Amino acid sequence: MKADAPLGVFDSGLGGLTVVRALREVLPGERIVYLGDTARVPYGTKGAATVVKYALACARHLVARDVKAIVVACNTVSAVAPERLRVELDIPVLEVIEPGARAAVAATRTGRIGVLATAGTIASGAYPRAVAQLSTRAEVVGQPAPLLVPLAEEGWTDGEVPRLVVRRYVEPLAKAGVDVVVLGCTHYPLLRAVIEDEVRARIGAEVAVVDSARATADDVKAFLEARGLSRTGGPGSVQLLVTDIPRTFAEVAARFLGDAVGDVEQVDL
Amino acid sequence: MKADAPLGVFDSGLGGLTVVRALREVLPGERIVYLGDTARVPYGTKGAATVVKYALACARHLVARDVKAIVVACNTVSAVAPERLRVELDIPVLEVIEPGARAAVAATRTGRIGVLATAGTIASGAYPRAVAQLSTRAEVVGQPAPLLVPLAEEGWTDGEVPRLVVRRYVEPLAKAGVDVVVLGCTHYPLLRAVIEDEVRARIGAEVAVVDSARATADDVKAFLEARGLSRTGGPGSVQLLVTDIPRTFAEVAARFLGDAVGDVEQVDL
């Protein structure tokens, strides 16, 4: 049956495994096939036409594995490609930007929403666009935070270095008077504790931190339930596909997934 | 005349401008054409065959501009492509790894040489190979330092954050008992002051820090003089070519070059 089919999730690399981790928490019965295009990471520095081309290749690979829906676990792809994927593939496509924007709009009272993301995501304007479609009074204050990805990949997620780095990125948001901060990159949930501490200390104890990986997982759950596509037959699973196996793959993947990685298959797109 | 021809310098991005800066100090009379392949940066995550292909495209573009020699201002390309460039292009090709290795071998007394570099350069084994060709008794202790590139690009080159980050990378080198530390990435000269402070505080006041950009410039000077190719006719110049103009181009380029950038030309390879 369709409900029994796996969910397809893809990202340019391994960061999207934080979305898989959130999906596992919210939807423990689902079988998940994750594809990381590790041979071509990062997408953030590439042009939109190239990103769309790579995203189509990833999504087609998952469609060939009979997935019931595709989750784009990559902010760069979510910013430029979902409409094109929906048109070309005739399969439900969910992504990471709109759910985070929706959670932020629901949480804000002042209408000022802070977004921490990579320089590429901030420059794409994807968050202001998503927020503008949801609310006419809310506005986005974007803060590029380029050091957070390497901190997360290195596993430097607590202690003084991440604290001081996060503080420097949170201070402009505090000055701008935001009352919600969105983690607008799949790597950032690893730094969530430090970011929450700094946001509360520098902006205010009542300021909400929106984890877009978690907001996406909630969105996927609601979507599957509304269509009768949730899998109920026994425990779920995670299958990992990558286009290249980097040296530090197992270590970095386990960090993002929050669990040891099982079998990994290398695929050619 | 040939001596009057420009020097061609290329890198995957803008980091190689630290080599241009060192060349300007050592060879103020040279005209320099710098090509940054900013559309395809970074090379460090790409396979060797791809890096060789891109390096050939960059070098051929410079040859078409009648340069008298090519300086590969990129550790990734220097690790895999110089021999191939020499064979294909029939023009002198200088690079950044051998000069740094040579300066380190000359400076070490214990024979233990520390190298700070990107994870890709450390994994390539290029420094141990270069050192082995110069000395049978010296050995390399490689330390990947992935946060230093984003720190340099952000311009966070002094203060507590870079100090604490550098300290974490220097401590394993101190434990390994090195007496020389090579800056094995074109971005690191921007962090030289912090690295020198930490090396001296954690390892010892007499420990030499080898700037491979400066070692490369000295190497280029010796090469040009030996062949009668030095330019003596008036002040030199720098011409910048890039394959893409990133948003923060002028700011980042000025940081690496140590000077405002003049005219920039976008080229298609």
| Chain A positions with Cβ closer than 8 Å to B | 39, 41-42, 45, 47, 119, 123, 146-147, 149-151, 153-154, 156, 160-161, 164-165, 168, 247-248
Are B103 and B194 members of one domain? yes
Q: What is the mean pLDDT of residues B227-240?
A: 92
Are A35 and A12 members of one domain? yes
Nearest to B165 among A45, A161, A248 (CB): A161
Are B68 and B139 members of one domain? no
Q: What is the mean pLDDT of residues A22-32?
A: 96
Name the 3-class secondary structure at A266. Answer: strand
Closest of A75, A2, A4 to residue A43, by C-alpha: A75
* A149 pLDDT more than 70: yes
A151 neighbourhood in chain B, CB within 8 Å: 147
pLDDT of residue A218: 97
Instruction: Indicate yes or no: CB of B147 within 8 angstroms of CB of A168.
Output: no
Are B118 and B166 members of one domain? yes
Report how many domains make up chain A: 2
Mean pLDDT estimate for chain A: 94
Domain boundary among A212, A237, A258: A212
Q: What is the mean pLDDT of residues A88-98?
A: 95
* B49 pLDDT more than 90: no
Q: What is the 3-state secondary structure (H, E, C) of chain B?
A: CHHHCCEEEEECCCCCHHHHHHHHHHCCCCEEEEEECCCCCCCCCCCHHHHHHHHHHHHHHHHCCCCCEEEECCHHHHHHCHHHHHHHHCCCEECCHHHHHHHHHHHCCCCEEEEEECHHHHHHCHHHHHHHHHCCCCEEEEEECCCHHHHHHHCCCCCHHHHHHHHHHHHHHHHCCCCEEEECCCCHHHHHHHHHHHHHHHCCCCCEEEEHHHHHHHHHHHHHHHCCCCCCCCCCEEEEEECCCCCCHHHHHHHHHCCCCCCEEECCC
Are B78 and B31 members of one domain? yes
pTM of the model: 0.86
* Distance to chain B for A203, nearest Cα, Å: 21
Are B134 and B176 members of one domain? yes
Q: Which domain holds residue A57?
A: 2-95+214-266
* A247 pLDDT more than 80: no
Instruction: Indicate yes or no: CB of B153 within 8 angstroms of CB of A164.
Output: no
The tens digit of pLDDT for each residue in B213-224 reads 999 999 999 999
Residue B58 designated active-site: no
pLDDT level of residue B46 (50, 70, 90 thresholds)? confident
Nearest to A165 among B39, B161, B168 (CB): B161
| Chain B positions with Cβ closer than 8 Å to A | 39, 41-42, 45, 47, 119, 123, 146-147, 149-151, 153-154, 156, 160-161, 164-165, 168, 247-248
pLDDT of residue B244: 86
B147 neighbourhood in chain A, CB within 8 Å: 147, 150-151, 154, 156
The tens digit of pLDDT for each residue in B144-157 reads 999 999 999 889 99
Task: Answer for the pair B12, B79: CB distance below 8 angstroms, yes or no.
Answer: no
CB pairs under 8 A between A and B: 41
Are A172 and A226 members of one domain? no
pLDDT of residue A249: 82
Residue A58 designated active-site: no
Give the β-pairing of B31-36 and B93-94. unpaired
Are B23 and B58 members of one domain? yes
Interface TM-score (ipTM) > 0.85:
no
Query: What CATH code is carried by the domain that includes residue B67?
Result: 3.40.50.1860
* B64 pLDDT more than 90: yes
Q: What is the mean pLDDT of residues A147-159?
A: 92
* A41 pLDDT more than 60: yes
* B1 pLDDT more than 60: no
* A263 pLDDT more than 90: no
pLDDT of residue A159: 94
Nearest to A147 among B150, B160, B164 (CB): B150
Are A202 and A253 members of one domain? no
DSSP state of A6: P
pLDDT level of residue B246 (50, 70, 90 thresholds)? confident
Are B106 and B181 members of one domain? yes
- Residue of B35, B74, B131, B210 marked active site: B74
pLDDT level of residue A1 (50, 70, 90 thresholds)? low
Domain boundary among B187, B213, B239: B213
* A183 pLDDT more than 80: yes
pLDDT of residue A120: 83
* B45 pLDDT more than 80: no
pLDDT level of residue A42 (50, 70, 90 thresholds)? confident
Q: What is the mean pLDDT of residues B192-197?
A: 97
* A199 pLDDT more than 80: yes
pLDDT level of residue B53 (50, 70, 90 thresholds)? very high
pLDDT level of residue B6 (50, 70, 90 thresholds)? very high
Are B90 and B219 members of one domain? yes
% pLDDT > 90, chain A: 80
One-letter amino acid of B97:
I
Are B91 and B223 members of one domain? yes
Instruction: Indicate yes or no: CB of B45 within 8 angstroms of CB of A42.
Output: yes
Domain boundary among B170, B190, B213: B213
pLDDT of residue A123: 87
A168 neighbourhood in chain B, CB within 8 Å: 156, 161
Mean pLDDT estimate for chain B: 94
Residue B33: both structure tokens together: 């054409």
